[in-house]
Chain A
């Protein structure tokens, strides 16, 4: 069994905490509760016969009060870049954070998650934005913590990417 640190990164109120709560505890609440600092959770997944314990760092969102400190990503094996589909501003924040992470800790595996797909009618992120992200070789997954869409898939894909990055036995 291996233990790997995985970070949740994105603007505030994009649903990072809700994604983790849905994935780890299978619960969801509509009430927005801001994250101060970091929340730690743990979940074990199996990928290609290998048990991976994901130590989830749900890092506070980038907002008027706090900038995400890159030192918090030290030792991370992968991260989820979370975008709120209903707020275009969260896309710009995500792109800035992605650049900062790459500069600070290098190009570790990540998946861009466009959350709140249950509110598709209210989305400000459109197909052009999606195409723009795909053009940057972002792996994109649409999720909804509320209706439990894409959650298992995105974390599982992240675990696969982690496994693929491991050094092959000689």
Chain B
């Protein structure tokens, strides 16, 4: 292919100026014959004919004699921190080393690859967790089989659990000791409740949950809200543990994430949810008489919990979670107000640089709780 003069000149300009082209002609043994281009960009100074190229570019140690086939070493990062595409080429019995700066492309490639590899690691961690869970169940069943045989004598010796023979009801078990998690309580409020909150004193809010019959809020509306909430929770690597009435509990820290900080992800999720539903907690919005919209209140507790599966019926397992943080999140759910995010002391302490976003007790002076302050 013969290129038009203008395009050929453009490409040469691109290579020489934007990618800092430099070249060295070498013998078969890697001795320098001649050189040119932007040598200084690659730290090549005082290069003389007859010298070994690996004395100047140590990364080419062992590369010569080089086969006649052309070769490119992409994104070679030198000791000086430069990223270079190294082209080794042969042409009519001459051997050339051509250097092109590839720092810009390498940075783009790194960004994509970093995300891809982190996700791959995440998948592997998740698979490991599930294997661990299945292994635990298997052990538990074997143990129960053994105990059952001893106590009832009803099962035949050597009877094994198989996939088509699910185990019977099982006692609570613990997957693998304790886990540090954050629990997020998500409470939905109808407009009428929001209006009540906006006019009542804090002390009257001791039990807002289902305090008032709200026939205008039907199940489909509630479910639509929880579908959206669940989506956001899952996007943030949380598990939607339970939905009961107008309250949901989400769990952060069980599914491995790249940040490995359950507190951060739970707070980030809560902020996203607040942002999504903030308009609905606005008193003006309530007074405007919207009857089919719900507001949201959020609370986070953090602590060590134990997690174990319970087989509620053959083949159906539910995950039970227990520990002080679980009790606390339910208590926190009872004292929430529409449009607010409350966190317990453990969450606040672990939230590190996000602590500035919270104030203790204000404005309701609740002991040991911190409230997200509006910006």
Contact = CB atoms under 8 A, between A and B. Distances in A.
Interface of A: 3-5, 12-13, 32-34, 36-42, 53, 55, 57, 61, 63-66, 71-72, 74-77, 87, 89, 124
Contact of A38 (B58, B75, B116): B75
A63 B124 CA distance: 13
B77 A37 contact: yes
B232 interface: no
B53 to A, nearest CB: 12
A33 B110 CA distance: 9
Interface of B: 54, 58-59, 61-64, 66, 71, 73-79, 83, 106, 109-110, 112-114, 116-118, 120-121, 124, 128
A57 B57 CA distance: 13
Contacts of B112: 65
Contacts, number: 80
B103 to A, nearest CB: 11
B58 A34 contact: no
B234 to A, nearest CB: 23
Contacts of A61: 117
Contacts of B64: 75
A64 B116 contact: yes
Contacts of A13: 117, 121
B61 A36 contact: no
Nearest to B102: A37
Contacts of B79: 40-42
B74 A37 contact: yes
A61 B116 CA distance: 13
Nearest to A3: B61
A42 B150 CA distance: 65
B76 A76 contact: no
A55 B120 contact: no
B61 A55 contact: yes
A61 B58 CA distance: 22
A115 B44 CA distance: 37
A71 B71 contact: yes
A124 to B, nearest CB: 7
B63 A36 contact: no
A39 B80 CA distance: 10
A76 B62 contact: yes
B78 A40 contact: yes
A57 B117 contact: no
